[in-house]
Each structure stands twice: as C-alpha cells, then as structure tokens.
Amino acid sequence: MSPSDTGTRQHERRAYYRDLSVVYEGSSLHLPVKPPDLSTHGMFINTAREFPVGAVLKIGFWLVHADFEVRARGEVRYCLAGVGVGVEFIHLPEEARRAIEREISRLAHAPQFDPA
C-alpha cells in the first residue's frame, strides 16, 4: 500500500530545492525528473520512468534555504506508472537529515504567496 492509499503522510513534506539528479544504481543513465515531494525519510519523485520495488537510486539535490547539497541513495518503495516513484532514503547521513529538517521547518513558517 502506498502513502497515497491511506490519505495521510507519515512525515511532513515540502519541496523547495534545485538541481535534482537521479541515477539508477548500476547505470550511467541520468533520469529526467520534476521537483519531488521531500521528507527526512524519503521523497516522491515525479518521473515517467518505471522502476521495480527495491531498485536503488542515487539521488542528489541542493536545499535552497539550508544551503546544503544532499547526496543519498534511495530504495524504491512503490511506483505509480507514468507518475513517479516513492523512494525511502538508505543510510542518509545525519548532517543531510538535519539540513532537510531545517529546510522543511523554514518552509513551514514561510509566508504563503496569495495571488488574489
């Protein structure tokens, strides 16, 4: 069961970073991706590419507010065909986890843009 099946999230998620890169481990293929949903435990990556559950991806991105580059490995936990993959971080360095927490916290307290 994916998190979207339950209608709730286990961890708060935000998406505000740049330069996301994803590489299927064991391959040199870089995948085209759109900005994902991020938590300290993993992320949802929007991509049309399908991966089997258990596939390991090399993930890198820059947290804008925390001014920190995250480099991690993630294991695919679920795949929504044509939409994207839910990835859980594997052995995320503590410094990277703290930087993600800072980023999420900062965004949670940032004023929201109201186009009206």
Counts of helices then strands in the chain (DSSP H, E): 2, 6
**Per residue in 36-83, pLDDT tens?**
678 999 999 888 888 999 999 999 888 888 899 999 999 999 999 989
pTM of structure: 0.67
Query: Which domains does the chain carry?
Result: 14-108 (2.40.10.220)
pLDDT in the model for residue 19: 63
Which pLDDT belongs to residue 99? 94
- Are the beta carbons of 11 and 24 closer than 8 angstroms? no
